[in-house]
Amino acid sequence: MSDLPGSAADLLPLLTRAERLLSRRVGGVLAVESLTIEGWRVLCLLADGLGHPMSEVATEASLPPGTLTKLVDHLVDRNLVFRRVDPIDRRRIRAYLTDRGRREQARLAAQIHADLAASSAPEDADLAGLIDGLIGRLDPQGSRVPSPARA
């Protein structure tokens, strides 16, 4: 067991490799639906039904504002997302899932879950909890993207 990483810094290459492999796998499912990983992240963030300011969506999806605007435009064109002026701060625009967007997000989440189930192990839930804890320690402000499984 001495070859296991000993600190958060040691995790960077491992998490990067795991993220790339998982993105490739999930991306294969999404490609059939003509949806990108970035689009999927936006749908998962909006799946809580609360609506989110575009600035928050850009931050949580790790996308520059201009790129996010183009992506959301595409999702609007597909009738998956809609935008509304924030009722409290009329200078802000909030994004929401449409009814179709909610159905598509749930359907795709089930497909992704089924695709990944064959390679899942019981300890994956423990690992997810540990990673969530690491995120909480690294980002004490609490700015976290909800996991698609929870969204």
Q: Alpha-carbon distance 58 to 64, whole Å?
A: 6
Structure tokens, 143: 């700015």
Cα-based distances in Å from 31 to 39, 42, 87, 134:
11, 16, 35, 30
The secondary structure of 63-83 as a DSSP string is: --HHHHHHHHHHHHHTTSEEE
Residue 143 confidence (pLDDT) = 56
CATH number attached to the domain at 24-138: 1.10.10.10
Domain range summary for the chain, segments of one domain joined by +? 24-138
Contact indicator for 78, 39 with CB cutoff of 8 Å? no
Of 112, 119, 97, which Cα lies nearest the Cα of 33?
112
For 124, list phi and psi in degrees, rounded to 5. -60, -35
Q: Alpha-carbon distance 46 to 19, whole Å?
A: 21
pLDDT in tens, 116-141: 888 888 888 888 898 888 888 888 87
Low-confidence ranges of the chain (pLDDT < 50): 1-2, 145-151
Residue 84 confidence (pLDDT) = 96
Parallel, antiparallel, or unpaired: how do β-strands 81-85 and 52-53 relate? unpaired
| pTM recorded for the entire structure | 0.81
Of 5, 37, 10, 42, which Cα lies nearest the Cα of 22?
37
Half-sphere exposure of 83 (CA within 13 A, CB side): 19
Contact indicator for 149, 125 with CB cutoff of 8 Å? no
